Amino acid sequence: MQLKPSLIINLTTLFVLMFAQLLLADQKHPNVLLICVDDLRPELGCFGVDYINSPHIDELASSGTVFHRHYVQAPTCGASRFTLLTGRYGGAGNGSLFSRAVQIGKNPKSVPLSMPAWFRKHGYTTVSVGKVSHHPGGLGGDRWNDPEIPEMPKSWSRHLLPAGVWQDPRGWMHGLAHGEIRDDTRTKSGGISMDVLQAVEGGDEIYPDGVSVNEALRQMDQLASDAESPFFLAVGILRPHLPFGAPAKYLQPYESSTLPAIPHPNKPDGKTTWHRSGEFMKYNRWNRNPNDDLNFANDVRKHYAACVSYADAQVGRLIERLKKTGAADNTIIILWGDHGWHLGEHSIWGKHSLFEESLRSPLIICVPGSKQKPATNSIVETLDLFPTLCDLTGIETPKTTQGVSLVPMLLNPNRKGRPAISYFRKAKTIRTQTHRLILHDDGFVELYDHRTPEKETANIAATEPELVAQLQRKLKSRLVGAEPGK
């Protein structure tokens, strides 16, 4: 007997709900700890990389599900976080959430509730610490500290960023050791004076994350002590965002290490979304360019790795404190990277492309009471996290979300995903299990076959017209009414 599609959908929904109830036992509304890490590549021990020291994230992964094929909607912080926090496609720029806030001011009913606002509506205390939306602390203005310009109106019970010796959120965002703030006044060469790399002796608090995570620990203690309402705590960890500065103890293990060769390091031929690595190149680089200086390239990669290990240590502090509060047995933990980062692939040092290195990032989901499942290679998107958390916490999923719940994959890691959609500036892309198609606004197409050694270095669009047409249809159908990139 063949089941009708509608019956299959209903049975799947019932199965998801039963699974969530089984995992969470009689605890109807578990807490949520959402850890957002900036510019984190999916290169960690739990992702099969042996030259990165990430023991705390690896331990977290050992009790959850690792998503090897997670893709973000945009290769830039603000737009990627827009999707995380709204469950919707959105603009492609860092001001996407501020544009949404303006629309709320004009017509609140026309804008769907954000994820934290939705959880707050359902009885959660929602707290954000660090860089969770694009601006740390969630405020606008010249120094990102103007309470009259909220980035996410009415979403958070508390939206916090202790700037410490960096004076204000903008200073914290680009801070180096002991309160050094980036001076955006351009030098004669058009750059800025702050060093792109740094490693200074001292404790975690000499860099920005040490201070903000201290506040996150205080908030966790306060939230866990409230027996009346569950909490939704989002903590944004800044590193490994530029500049690559971390306490020297995190660099030491890498100083004498040998790194693997950079894959496909050459600038691509033809029209692509390649760029000149402007964000990286404007820092003080001592007149060195990693694209033609292998020693400097390796220095950059090692300092990036040190920042990853520093971020990993902050994750460890959060998990340890969660256990000490006694709330760990009733808390869903999500670790999410807001996008990837090129370390020389395609001759790029940064994000902001539509290549794999910019769009693929780590995702780990840990549900209390569940057994570790094998990692999944099925494609998933940031878009899917809002409905997933609704399913896992037992609250209704708003009809305005555009993703799909990943709970079925938590049950069966072999379950098939769906193609991932991303966009930036004047192009959009769709990633399937085997191919990536990039469609430029002027109609130019890139098509890459990931089954070949060339991967995203050989554009085969001219030889595969039927596949190009098929993927273009899928891409456009998924984006109907979404208007990404506007």
Amino acid identity for residue 18 in this structure: M
327 CA to centre of own chain: 25
373: how many CB neighbours lie within 10 A of its CB?
17
Cis omega (within 30 of 0) for bond into 243: yes
Check if the beta carbon of residue 127 is closer than 8 Å to that of residue 157. Answer: yes
Amino acid identity for residue 362 in this structure: P
Check if the beta carbon of residue 361 is closer than 8 Å to that of residue 379. Answer: no
Active-site residue, selected from the candidate residues 134, 241, 303, 342? 134
Active-site residue, selected from the candidate residues 36, 77, 366, 390? 77
Sequence-distant (≥ 6) Cβ neighbours of residue 137 within 8 angstroms: 144, 145, 159, 160, 161, 163, 169
Element (H, E) at 414: none
Amino acid identity for residue 203 in this structure: G
Check if the beta carbon of residue 56 is closer than 8 Å to that of residue 316. Answer: yes
Element (H, E) at 33: strand 31-37
Six-digit token string for 457: 């270095």
134 is catalytic: yes
Q: Measured on CA atoms in the order 376, 379, 384, 385, is the torsion positive or negative?
A: positive
CA angle in degrees (0–180, nearest 5) for 169-175-179 = 95
Residue 401's Cβ-count burial label (10 Å; 0-12, 13-18, 19+) is buried
CA dist 80 and 40 (Å) reads 13
Q: What Rg, from alpha-carbon coordinates, does the chain have?
A: 22
Q: Measured on CA atoms in the order 359, 333, 380, 453, is the torsion positive or negative?
A: positive
CA angle in degrees (0–180, nearest 5) for 251-348-89 = 100
Cis omega (within 30 of 0) for bond into 240: yes
Check if the beta carbon of residue 415 is closer than 8 Å to that of residue 406. Answer: no
Q: What is the DSSP letter of 455?
A: B
CA dist 102 and 76 (Å) reads 21
| φ/ψ of residue 365, rounded to 5 | -120, 125
Amino acid identity for residue 233 in this structure: L
Sequence-distant (≥ 6) Cβ neighbours of residue 272 within 8 angstroms: 346, 353, 355, 438, 446, 459
Sequence-distant (≥ 6) Cβ neighbours of residue 481 within 8 angstroms: none
Active-site positions?
A: 77, 134
